[in-house]
Chain A
Amino acid sequence: MKFDSPATSNPIDRGRVVGIPQDRIDGPAKVTGTAPYAYERHDAAPSAVYGWIVGSAIAKGRIKAIDSQAAQAAPGVLGIVTHQNAGPLDKGNMNTAHLLGGPQIEHFEQAVALVIADTLENARDAARLLRIDYAPEKGRFDLAAEMGSAVAPETGFGGPADTRAGDFDAAFARAPVRIDQRYTTPDQSHAMLEPHATTAAWNGDQLTLWTSNQMVSWSAGDLAKTLRIPKENVRLVSPYIGGGFGAKLFLRADALLAALGARTVGRPVKVAIARPQVPNNTTHRPATIQRVRIGANRNGVIDAIAHDVWSGDLPGGGPETAAQQTRLLYRGDHRLTTHRLATLDLPEGNAMRAPGEAVGLLALEVAMDELAEACNVDPVELRIRNDVQHDPEVGPSRPFSSRKFVECLRQGADRFGWSRRHPKPGQVREGRWLVGMGVASAFRNNLVARSGARIGVDGKGHVTVETDMTDIGTGSYTIIAQTAAEMLGVPLAAVTVRLGDSRFPASSGSGGQWGANSSTSGVYAAAWALRGKLAEKAGFAPDQAVFEDGMIRQGNQSKPIGSLAGREGLWAEDQIEFGDLAKRYAQATFGAHFCEVGVDIDTAEVRVRRMGGAFAAGRILNPKSARSQVIGAMTMGVGAALMEELSVDTRFGFFVNHDMAEYLVPVHADIPEQDVLFLDELDDKSSPMKAKGVGELGICGAGAAVANAIYNATGIRLRDYPLTIDKLLERGEGSALA
C-alpha cells in the first residue's frame, strides 16, 4: 500500500480498540519471567557455552602481540577468538568502528578477544590471563580542543549540515534585543536495563542469533556483511528487548562475537556485554558545544535565529544534529543553522533517544528563557508569539501537517498553574527550599519508514500478526494487536502478535520514534489485503464490507470470518510505503513541558517537585503506554538536566564512570508527580493511522524546563549540563542561595 495522499476516513477512526487505554498484552509474560530474553534462550540453545569479551586497554594504537597460552590452558576454556583467527571480516554499514578490533585499536574497550568456556566464571577468569601487548598512540579526546578542526559533515539522517534563509548576520546585528550564548551537553550513556546480549548457533552455514536488537533487518544485513555471508543465511530473533534507547539500533560486538565464537567451538555460544563494558564498548550520545543567537524586537518576536553545533566522533562517524529543531520550531525571516564534526578517538557516538532535539532543546529552550527575560515577556507567551504554521526556512508553501503547539502551551500552562509563577527569580521560599517554575517547548520530528507485516485468521476467527518489528519496552505488541483487532473487528484477546524475527516481513523497526506509527500502518496495509480476501470469499464488495464482532457484514448479511478462513486459515501480506507527503508538509510532534523545582538554600541540591506536559502527536494509539513513554522520557530529561554525564578522561581517552554506581540516572526518589495531557489530534498526512511518533517527544525540552525552573528559583543561569551542585555553588554569589 502506498501512502501518498492524505488519509480519508477509515476503519481505525471507529476507535473501538485503537485509542483506548489498554494493558500491555505482553505484560503477564514479562512479570512472570516467562518472556525469553536473549541471554536466556535455554529453550532454543540449551547447550550454549559462555563467551567473555576482552576490551582494549588503550584508546588508540596497535596490538603488538597476543599471548593466549595461559588463557587457553585455563580450566574450562573451549576457544579464543581474536583478529588473528577470526578470518577476514568486513564492517557493517551502520558501524563506525570495527566490532572486533586488532591489530588497529580504534577506541578504548573495543573488543579485542572473546574467551569461550564452559561457564561464565571460567570464561571471565581466563580472560584475565590473556596477555595483550599494545603500542599506544596519541589520540584526540577533547571536543573543545578539537573544535577548530571540525568540518561540515555529509548530509545524513538529520539533513544537511547547514541551512540558511534570509540574511542572519545583518538581521541579528540590527535586532533591538540579542541573545548570544554558548551551551554544552556531555556525553551520555543509554543505561538501558538489559545490556547487549546474544546467543548464537550455527547449523551448517545457517546462523541463528537470539539477540536484543531494535532493528532486525538492518542488523541481520550488517552481520551477514561483516561475516561475508549471504543475508539469507542469517536468522535474527529479537522478540523481547530490555530497553534500547538507540543503543541497540545496530549490530554490536555481542552479536558478532557470539557468531564467531559459536563457529570456533562448534556449538552455541552466548555473549553479553558486561555492564562496566557497555559505555566504552558500545555507542553513546555525543557531547555537544552549542552557540545560540537570537535577534528579536522588544516584544520578543524573533527576526533572526542561529544555532551552531559542534560534536565529535571517530573517523567516518556522524554528528549530533542538535540544531534540527531550530530549523522548524520558531518564526524568523533570517535563519542559520550549522553542524561541525570533529574527529575524536573516543568510543563511537551515535543515536540516543531523540538524537538531535534532546540536546538541541537543552540549549535553544534556555536561550528562549533568556530572551523572555530580556524582553520582559512571559516565557509561555514568548513561545506563542513565535509560533509559525509553516516550515520557516521554506515559507508558506510547506505548511505543517498539523501543529497544535500553541494549544499545548496554553492548556499545559493552565493545568500546571503557570500563572502562579513569580516572574522574578529567587523570590519564592518554602522552608529550606527556593522554589521556581520553568517551561520549555517540546519538539521532535515525525519520521516514517517503510514497514511490512503479514496477518492471518484461522478457522476459529483468531488473528495472528507477524512482522520483524520490535518491542523495546514501548508497547509495540499491544498497539499492533489493537490495529489488527480494529481492522478485522475482533476483540484484542483474539489477536496474537509475533515480533522480532527476520523470517517475518521487514518492518520499520524501533527508532527515531517512527516505529509505532510506521509499523501499525504496515499492519493496517496487510489487514486491508486480508479484508479484501475475506470479502471476496464472502462474496461482498471489499469497500462496503464492515468488520465487527468477528463477522464480516454487508447490508443485513453477515458471516463469521473464521468460517471464511476455513481450516487452513487465510493470510495476507503487505507493506506501507510512504510517498512524498513528508516533503510537501513539515511533519513534527509538539508539546510543552512545565516543571517546578526546589533548590536547597544551603546545599544547592535540586529536587524536582512537579512536572507537567501537554503533547500533540497525532492519534494516540494506546494512551496508557503512550503516557508511560512520555513520563519515562521526562524522567530521562531530568537525568540530562541534573546528573547524567560520561566523564571523559582525556589522558587515557575513555569514559571513567562506566558503571551504574557512577553513571547516575534518576531513581524513584528523584521523580515526583508527572502529569501528561495528550491533545486530540489526527494527522491525516502522517499515515493512515493518523498517528505520529511519541516515544521520544517527552525527552525533548524536559531538561530545559528543569534548567529554567532552577533559574527561576535561584537566579543562577547555568549553561553547562548537567546542572550539578558544584556548578550552582560556583555561581552562588549574588544568587538567592544563602
Chain B
Amino acid sequence: MKPFTYTRAASVEEAVRSASSVQGARFIAGGTNLLDLMKLQIETPAHLIDINHLGLDRIETTAGGGLRIGALVRNTELAADRTVRRDYAVLSRALVAGASGQLRNKATTAGNLLQRTRCPYFYDTRMPCNKRRPGSGCAAIKGMSRSLAVIGTSDACIAQHPSDMAVAMRLLDASVDIIGADGARRSVPIADFHLLPGDTPHIENALKPGELITSVTLPKPIGGTHVYRKVRDRASYAFALVSVAAVFDRDGQGRFAFGGLAPKPWRVAAADAAARSGAPAVAEAALDGARPTPLNAFKQQLTARTLASVFRQREARA
C-alpha cells in the first residue's frame, strides 16, 4: 500500500473541490473494493477523500414518482427498503444475491456501480493486463478466462463487470446523478455510464476526473413480475457466472438484463422484443455477436438455461 493522506469531506462541494485540486485523489465510500486494491498495489491513490459524511445516504421519492437513492446508501439498507422491495423487487433481489452480509453492510450504491473487474490477472501485478497497465497486453484472453465476458469485449480486454446491483439498475433504466468540480450537475443514463473496453479498457465509465456520484435515480415503478436469477459456482458469496434480471408484465412482454456476460450490465433491445418467443430466442438475441473463449463458451448455453429457469419461475408466480 502506497502511503496516502486522508481527509473527511464536510460537504459535497468540498469533496469535489479537493478531488480536482489534489493530485491522485480518490473518493472512499465503503472501501470494500478500493482498500483491497490498494493493499495489492493495483490502486495507488495519494489522497483519500472520505465521502461517508455528506448526507448522501437517503432514499427519497422524486417528483416524477421515481426513487432517488443516495450514493452512500448501503447495499443492505437499499435491499431492505420497503419501497424498493415493493416497487423495484428485482433490485432488492439482485442486491442480496451479491457478496456477503458483512460486505453489503459496508458497500454503497456508488461504490457498487464502480467496483472493478474480478479478472484474476487484473489482481496480480506481475501479469500483463491492459486494464491495469495500459499497453501491457491481456493475459486473460489466452489464459484462465472461464469467468470472463463473452460479449462486448475487445482484443484488448475481456473482463466482466461483476456487479449484481448494476444489472437490476440497468433493467430499471436508472440514471446516475453526478456533480463536477465546478459544481455542475448532470445525469447519465446507466446504459451510457459503463463503457465497453475497446482500445481503452482502463477507462471504465463516464465519470470525468474529480466527479462525484451523488445518487442513482430510478424512474417510476413499472410493475410486473420481478425475477433475479444468479448462477454461480457455489451457493452463496461468489460472483455470477451468469445472472439474469427480468421483469414480465401480464401479457408476456418482458425486459431482460444480464450479469457475468459483458464488461457492463448487458441489455439488448432485441432480447426484450423476443420475450414472447421464449428463453432460447431471448438468449440468442442477447448474445448476438458474442465472442467467447473456449473456456467460457459454456456461458452461452448457460444464459439460455438461466433464462429458462427465469421463465419457469415467472410461470410459477403467475
Q: CA–CA, A276 to B3, complex, Å?
A: 21
Of A398-406, A494-502, A577-585, A656-664, the one with at least 4 CB within 8 A of chain B: A656-664
Q: Is the CB of B120 within 8 A of A657?
A: yes
Q: Is the CB of B123 within 8 A of A659?
A: yes
Q: CA–CA, A725 to B233, complex, Å?
A: 7
- How would residues 291 to 314 of chain B score, 1 for a CB under 8 Å from any chain A CB and 0 otherwise? 000000010011001101100100
The reply to whether the CB of B203 lies closer than 8 angstroms to some CB of chain A is: no
Write out the residue numbers on chain B whose beta carbons fall within 8 Å of the beta carbon of A124. 1, 39, 41
Q: Is the CB of A603 within 8 A of B306?
A: yes
For the residues of B in contact with A, the DSSP-based class is loop
CB of A608, distance to nearest CB on chain B (Å): 9
Which parts of A586-631 form the interface with B (CB within 8 Å)? 600, 602-605, 607
The reply to whether the CB of A154 lies closer than 8 angstroms to some CB of chain B is: no
- How would residues 18 to 58 of chain B score, 1 for a CB under 8 Å from any chain A CB and 0 otherwise? 00000000000000000000011100000000000000000
The reply to whether the CB of A647 lies closer than 8 angstroms to some CB of chain B is: yes
Q: Is the CB of B302 within 8 A of A725?
A: yes
Q: On chain A, which size bracket covers the interface?
A: 35 or more
- How would residues 118 to 141 of chain A score, 1 for a CB under 8 Å from any chain B CB and 0 otherwise? 000110110010000000000000
Q: Find B305's partner among A602, A642, A649 (CB 8 Å cutoff).
A: A602
Write out the residue numbers on chain B whose beta carbons fall within 8 Å of the beta carbon of A192. none
Q: Given A57-B126, A125-B2, do A605 and B231 touch, yes or no (CB 8 Å)?
A: yes
Q: Given A57-B126, A656-B144, A659-B123, do A670 and B298 touch, yes or no (CB 8 Å)?
A: no
The reply to whether the CB of A420 lies closer than 8 angstroms to some CB of chain B is: no
Write out the residue numbers on chain B whose beta carbons fall within 8 Å of the beta carbon of A729. 298, 301-302, 305
Write out the residue numbers on chain A whose beta carbons fall within 8 Å of the beta carbon of B139. 649, 652
Q: Is the CB of B306 within 8 A of A602?
A: yes
The reply to whether the CB of B146 lies closer than 8 angstroms to some CB of chain A is: yes
Q: Given A656-B120, A657-B144, A659-B123, do A725 and B237 touch, yes or no (CB 8 Å)?
A: no
Q: Find A670's partner among B118, B234, B301, B308 (CB 8 Å cutoff).
A: B234
CB of B36, distance to nearest CB on chain A (Å): 9
CB of A667, distance to nearest CB on chain B (Å): 5
The reply to whether the CB of A726 lies closer than 8 angstroms to some CB of chain B is: yes
CB of A664, distance to nearest CB on chain B (Å): 5
Q: Is the CB of B305 within 8 A of A604?
A: yes
Q: Find B124's partner among A75, A658, A738 (CB 8 Å cutoff).
A: A658
The reply to whether the CB of A145 lies closer than 8 angstroms to some CB of chain B is: no
Write out the residue numbers on chain B whose beta carbons fall within 8 Å of the beta carbon of A31. none
Write out the residue numbers on chain B whose beta carbons fall within 8 Å of the beta carbon of A432. 309, 312
CB of A353, distance to nearest CB on chain B (Å): 19
Write out the residue numbers on chain B whose beta carbons fall within 8 Å of the beta carbon of A57. 126
- How would residues 638 to 678 of chain A score, 1 for a CB under 8 Å from any chain B CB and 0 otherwise? 00001100010101100011110110101111100000000
Write out the residue numbers on chain B whose beta carbons fall within 8 Å of the beta carbon of A414. none
Nearest residue, chain A, Cβ from B311: A602
Write out the residue numbers on chain B whose beta carbons fall within 8 Å of the beta carbon of A121. 1, 3
Q: Is the CB of A125 within 8 A of B144?
A: no
Q: Is the CB of B40 within 8 A of A602?
A: no
- How would residues 282 to 310 of chain A score, 1 for a CB under 8 Å from any chain B CB and 0 otherwise? 00000000000000000000000000000
Q: Is the CB of B305 within 8 A of A670?
A: no
Q: Is the CB of B146 within 8 A of A726?
A: yes
Q: Is the CB of A664 within 8 A of B233?
A: yes
Q: Is the CB of B236 within 8 A of A670?
A: yes
Q: Is the CB of B235 within 8 A of A667?
A: yes
Q: Find B298's partner among A605, A651, A725, A738 (CB 8 Å cutoff).
A: A725
Write out the residue numbers on chain B whose beta carbons fall within 8 Å of the beta carbon of A667. 234-237
- How would residues 712 to 726 of chain A score, 1 for a CB under 8 Å from any chain B CB and 0 otherwise? 000000000000111
Write out the residue numbers on chain B whose beta carbons fall within 8 Å of the beta carbon of A730. 298
The reply to whether the CB of B121 lies closer than 8 angstroms to some CB of chain A is: yes
Q: CA–CA, A643 to B234, complex, Å?
A: 7
Q: CA–CA, A152 to B205, complex, Å?
A: 56
Nearest residue, chain A, Cβ from B295: A726
Write out the residue numbers on chain A whose beta carbons fall within 8 Å of the beta carbon of B41. 124, 128
Q: Is the CB of A661 within 8 A of B118?
A: yes
Which parts of B233-278 form the interface with A (CB within 8 Å)? 233-239, 241
Q: Is the CB of B118 within 8 A of A662?
A: yes
CB of B305, distance to nearest CB on chain A (Å): 5
Nearest residue, chain A, Cβ from B298: A726
Nearest residue, chain A, Cβ from B121: A656
Interface hub of B118, B238, B305 (most chain A Cβ within 10 A): B305
Interface hub of A652, A669, A732 (most chain B Cβ within 10 A): A652
Write out the residue numbers on chain B whose beta carbons fall within 8 Å of the beta carbon of A604. 305
Q: Is the CB of B312 within 8 A of A602?
A: yes
Write out the residue numbers on chain A whose beta carbons fall within 8 Å of the beta carbon of B298. 725-726, 729-730
Nearest residue, chain A, Cβ from B304: A602
The reply to whether the CB of B207 lies closer than 8 angstroms to some CB of chain A is: no
Q: Is the CB of B118 within 8 A of A649?
A: no
Q: Is the CB of B39 within 8 A of A651?
A: no
Write out the residue numbers on chain A whose beta carbons fall within 8 Å of the beta carbon of B306. 602-603
Write out the residue numbers on chain B whose beta carbons fall within 8 Å of the beta carbon of A656. 120-121, 124, 143-144
Write out the residue numbers on chain A whose beta carbons fall within 8 Å of the beta carbon of B195. none
Write out the residue numbers on chain A whose beta carbons fall within 8 Å of the beta carbon of B317. none
The reply to whether the CB of B208 lies closer than 8 angstroms to some CB of chain A is: no
CB of B306, distance to nearest CB on chain A (Å): 6
The reply to whether the CB of B281 lies closer than 8 angstroms to some CB of chain A is: no
Write out the residue numbers on chain A whose beta carbons fall within 8 Å of the beta carbon of B312. 432, 602
Nearest residue, chain B, Cβ from A647: B144
Q: Find B309's partner among A602, A651, A664, A725 (CB 8 Å cutoff).
A: A602
CB of B87, distance to nearest CB on chain A (Å): 27
Which parts of B211-236 form the interface with A (CB within 8 Å)? 231-236
Q: CA–CA, A597 to B109, complex, Å?
A: 36
Q: Is the CB of A125 within 8 A of B234?
A: no
Q: CA–CA, A591 to B123, complex, Å?
A: 42
CB of A637, distance to nearest CB on chain B (Å): 14
CB of B296, distance to nearest CB on chain A (Å): 8
Which parts of A693-737 form the interface with B (CB within 8 Å)? 724-726, 729-730, 732
Which parts of A423-467 form the interface with B (CB within 8 Å)? 432
Which parts of B271-291 form the interface with A (CB within 8 Å)? none
Q: Find A669's partner among B2, B236, B305 (CB 8 Å cutoff).
A: B236
Q: CA–CA, A432 to B310, complex, Å?
A: 11
Write out the residue numbers on chain B whose beta carbons fall within 8 Å of the beta carbon of A670. 234-236
Interface residues of A (CB under 8 A from B): 57, 75, 121-122, 124-125, 128, 276, 432, 600, 602-605, 607, 642-643, 647, 649, 651-652, 656-659, 661-662, 664, 666-670, 724-726, 729-730, 732, 738
17 contacts between A and B (CB under 8 A): A125-B1, A125-B3, A128-B41, A276-B40, A602-B305, A603-B302, A603-B306, A604-B305, A649-B139, A649-B144, A662-B120, A664-B233, A669-B235, A670-B234, A670-B235, A725-B231, A725-B241
Beyond the given pairs A664-B238, A726-B302, 17 more chain A to chain B contacts, judged by CB atoms under 8 angstroms and listed by A's residue number, are A75-B3, A276-B123, A432-B309, A600-B309, A602-B308, A602-B309, A603-B306, A642-B233, A652-B143, A656-B120, A656-B143, A659-B123, A662-B120, A667-B237, A724-B233, A726-B146, A738-B305
